[in-house]
Structure 1
Amino acid sequence: MAAADVALSLVKLLGALIVSLYYILEALVVGIIPRAFMRKSVEGDVALVTGGGSGIGRLLCLKLAARGAKVVTWDVNATGNDETVRQVSAAGGECWAYTVDLCDRHSIYKVAARVKEEVGKVDILVNNAGIVTGRNFIDSPDELILKTFEVNTLSHFWTTKAFLPEMISANKGHVVTVASLAGLSGVNKLSDYCASKFAAVGFDESLRLELLVEGHTGVHTTVVCPYYISTGMFDGVKSSLFPILKPEYVASEVIDGILLNRYIVILPSFCRFMILLKYILPFKGAYQIYKACGGHISMDGFQGRSKDSQQQLKMTNGPEKQKSQGTPEV
């Protein structure tokens, strides 16, 4: 590379750093403006939520419908899906349910086509469904590791591929990835789960950059990284320092992440500083903080949803034999 090219690159880098200072100030100002003045409207939009048959997914369906969105719930559990439709309808909203096995990309594409025909173009896609094994790496069956990635990571590719083209054509849309704090920092006894969530976070960031580079500024993405949530998926988990999050709080923050077009939602928000320490401190120092927070033993009492755990290896395309793929909660 010629010296002139290097000099030009350095000048561009300096300019970018100066512009970044402006955006830091902008973020500080935006941070003190009441949210009510900045939320966008989703009235009339079609919002599809995977894992909408239970937990956080159901709460998201209810909250999106309350804001006037037409809600579509996808879940492997037909009974849970029907209950979500009942609750949304009882609250005065519109909701459609489709039984989908997110481990089957052909099923995803097929049902996506039905949604477009029967409901309309999807404006908001919330990739929420997830599963967890919760075992030491060496004790994790190959089948469960594969299923973890199929649900927690690969399904995001297939659902987004199915609905993103219409968003790009209209230059209007929103893709939400419900990931996890375990997608930003490793956790003992969650190697497959963490790896799948790291991949989900990377998917969101890369997709966002691609959309910006291609000029599709009306299509937004948000990644959500919450701590443990008390919905049952991580029953038995202990947290000695940080409070286990309430589902209602998490669902409300996810909705605001959508309405405010936020790039990343970390819950609780102060955990972003804990993540920063991971990159600033030497590994041995970061590990001491990890232990002081109780992270090294948090999964020792893990039980999870026992019925779901028994069914994870038995999932088929038949709705009567499937259990909810749940919600990521760490």
Structure 2
Amino acid sequence: MKKQIVLLPGDGIGPEITESALQIIKSAGIDLDYVVMQAGAESAAKTGETLPSEVVENIKKYKVALKGPITTPIGTGFRSVNVALRKELNLYGAVRPSKNLEGIRTKFDNVDLVIVRENTEDLYAGIERMVDDDTAESIKRITRSASMRIAEFAFDYAVKNNRKKVTVVTKANICKFSDGLFLECARQTAQKYPQIEFKEILIDNLCMQLVVRPHEFDVLLCPNLYGDIVSDLAAGLTGGLGIAPGANYGEDGAALFEPVHGSSPDIAGKGIANPTALIRSAVLMLNHLDYAKEAAKIDSAVNTVIKEGKFTTPDIGGNATTKEFTSAVINKLK
């Protein structure tokens, strides 16, 4: 019986890179049953809804979703569909690996770190208002339950993936109550995992240290906002958002896999989008679905194509099209 997953192609370059990922998954010998649905700008244009209720219902039913990038307007327009999905599905734990791929020139070699991001609260809870015409106010909400939950998730992740160190990231010297609570929960959790080294760092110092000595870090445990920012910074260290995968996990077994990057409407339809981030997100999904062997084959094929450099897309120094890159990866699977 085929495994069923929800597929959200997304906006902008989403459909293009989604098609690439699906072709590669099939070429690796995996036959999944996709429940294709729309959300975001494309959905709004067709149905008037950015996140139809049946999308959430189907992800709850099938438990696993692969999602392309979805447009989020800046400053105006509808609220983020990405944030809404995490909230509706209680996808509290975001995992964003950042690792160098041979063949992409970067400032540092052998960077290999993972951002674990609390995904449900902090400023992303969207508790904000206009106090008056000239004053806007946002509330930063941190709770003990969510902080303990993500701290335990991070340490469990470290143990299961043979990671040696967890570093908690806060601004607890200034946000003494909110970030202070997050830090307190991380400290309490660390005591349960004596085999894992535990460190603390302030967010501003972390940003400086990452661009000077990124090899000092392993697993970074972050509140929501800091995790979002740091994951992009880490992607920059390892080759850019075009190769950065992401996964989101919930308490009830739901899991959503997506690239870290946005929908890039400026290059949509030009055939030059880099599908690597979505393919690597699909690799995380396949491991989650117990297709470890096939996932490893895909990961190796992508790495080999990028290392050889003959069919890489413009964002990572090549001149290949999306289709040419995809075909090169498929050829490596044969």
Would you tell me which structure has more helix in proportion to its own residues? Answer: 1
Higher relative contact order (CA 8 A, sep 6+): 2
TM-score bracket for the superposition, by shorter chain length: 0.3 to 0.5
- Please give the TM-score of this superposition, normalised by the length of structure 1: 0.32
Normalized per residue, the structure richer in strand is 2
Q: TM-score, length-normalised on structure 2?
A: 0.32
